[in-house]
Amino acid sequence: MDKKVILFDADGVVIQSEMFVNHILEVTGLPREEVIPFFTGVFQECMIGKADLKTEIKPWLKKWNWEEDVNGFLIQWLEYEDRIDQKMLNLVKELQKNSILCYLATNQEKYRTEYIRNEMGLGDVFDGIFSSAEIGIKKPKTEFFEFIIKTLDINKKEILYLDDTASHVAGAQAAGIESHLYTNYEDFYNYVKPLLKEAH
């Protein structure tokens, strides 16, 4: 394997936290059909920067009888999903020591993108973050990956993509990027071990 860049998915790979929607269901006791439509509906527009989460969530908080205001809700959401896999972060740093550029490639709305970049500190660890909210396109569309290839100005054969969602892996493969379906840390470590020339 000869790669110069590895693209990492965030949630389920670098970030290992339960999704906040499950917490909402637990706290409110509401049936799924009263909560999930927000996430499958207008939230998807927030994910590509076409809508603002703080604006769109307001009527839903009222509907869910959520006691906190929008900012309080958002803070709780962001902190709830703030669970970095330290082993993966250490591996990223080892790969970088071996001259591999490491980027996050993630579907996120703008507020969590900034939280991941600044509050979680991943902007200081990774060489860059590609977010759907900033690109305007979501995975698994091939255009998402083509944007990254063009931005990095690199031969796509020198890129490896890692994701725990099969459809996203397929989207990257359709763009001509070698991709690996993430199942667990040990499996991925063994997969990229050939790139760790300084590994002992």
pLDDT mean over 89-100: 96
* For residue 199, pLDDT beyond 90: no
10/69 same-domain check: no
* For residue 55, pLDDT beyond 90: yes
Fill in the DSSP letter of residue 157.
Answer: G
Q: Residue with structure tokens 């962001």?
A: 78
Give every CB contact of residue 16 below 8 A, 6+ residues apart in sequence: 83, 84, 85
At 197, the pLDDT band (50, 70, 90 cuts) reads confident
Contact 112, 75 (CB under 8 A): no
Fill in the DSSP letter of residue 85.
Answer: -
Domain that holds residue 98: 5-16+84-195
pLDDT mean over 110-132: 98
**Total domain count, the chain:** 2
Contact 128, 31 (CB under 8 A): no
Percent of residues, the chain, with pLDDT higher than 70: 98
In terms of DSSP bridges, do strands 159-163 and 5-8 run parallel, antiparallel, or are they unpaired? parallel
pLDDT mean over 36-60: 97
184/89 same-domain check: yes
pLDDT score of 95: 97
pLDDT mean over 154-182: 97
pLDDT score of 198: 59
Tell me if the pTM is above 0.85: yes
* For residue 64, pLDDT beyond 80: yes
Q: In what order do the strands lie in the sheet with 128-131?
A: 128-131, 101-106, 5-8, 159-163, 178-181
At 200, the pLDDT band (50, 70, 90 cuts) reads very low
CB atoms within 10 A of CB 171: 22
Query: For residue 200, is it within any domain?
Result: no
* For residue 2, pLDDT beyond 90: no
90/42 same-domain check: no
pLDDT mean over 41-61: 97
pLDDT mean over 180-184: 96
pLDDT mean over 36-53: 97
Contact 108, 39 (CB under 8 A): no
155/109 same-domain check: yes
118/130 same-domain check: yes
Query: For residue 106, is it within any domain?
Result: yes
Q: What is the dihedral of CA 168, 169, 170, 173, to 10 degrees?
A: 120
Contact 182, 188 (CB under 8 A): yes
